[in-house]
């Protein structure tokens, strides 16, 4: 995310080019840390059960990866900036560059993430259901 897009580090990304992406604090609305951790654990449960996708993941212990993705998503949706405080700017393209991802693995990743979102209690009280909100976003990471 560059400054020309109106966002500076650390990235919380709740603001779109057109103004606030949503009312209030989405992270709070959906239940804060426990909701995001549950979602990511569910996602990684899917990854762990999927050998062709799991093969990309460099560490046998998925717990550190769970903590990183939870921290990133919390921060992205308006929660604490612990991720950037600890790891610096997300720079997700750079961080993903070492991994060779084929189309089938990409699709499996999305399938597991969608299933995790669908199974989560991600229901902000004052906005649309979480799945709808997520798929409606057009933000580049």
Interface residue list for ligand HEM (CB under 6 A): 56-59, 65, 68-69, 72, 87, 92, 95-96, 99, 101, 105-106, 109, 141
Q: Which is nearer to ligand HEM, 48 or 101 (CB)?
A: 101
Query: Which residues have CB under 8 Å from 4's CB, separation 6+?
Result: none
Measured from the CB of residue 68, what is the shortest distance to ligand HEM in angstroms? 4
Q: Which is nearer to ligand HEM, 105 or 127 (CB)?
A: 105
Q: Which is nearer to ligand HEM, 3 or 94 (CB)?
A: 94
First to last CA, the chain: 6
Measured from the CB of residue 110, what is the shortest distance to ligand HEM in angstroms? 7
Measured from the CB of residue 135, what is the shortest distance to ligand HEM in angstroms? 12
Q: Which is nearer to ligand HEM, 20 or 58 (CB)?
A: 58
Measured from the CB of residue 17, what is the shortest distance to ligand HEM in angstroms? 19
């Amino acid at each position: 995310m560059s400054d020309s897009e109106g966002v500076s580090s650390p990235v919380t990304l709740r603001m779109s080019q057109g103004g606030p992406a949503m009312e209030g604090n989405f992270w709070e609305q959906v239940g804060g840390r426990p909701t995001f951790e549950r979602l990511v654990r569910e996602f990684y449960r899917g990854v762990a059960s999927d050998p062709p996708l799991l093969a990309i993941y460099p560490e046998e212990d998925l717990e550190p990866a769970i903590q990183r993705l939870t921290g990133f998503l919390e921060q992205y949706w308006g929660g604490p900036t612990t991720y950037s405080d600890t790891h610096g700017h997300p720079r997700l393209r750079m961080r993903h560059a070492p991994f060779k991802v084929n189309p089938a693995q990409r699709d499996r990743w999305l399938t597991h993430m969608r299933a995790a979102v669908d199974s989560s209690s991600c229901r902000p009280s004052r906005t649309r259901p979480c799945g709808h909100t997520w798929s409606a976003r057009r933000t580049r990471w």
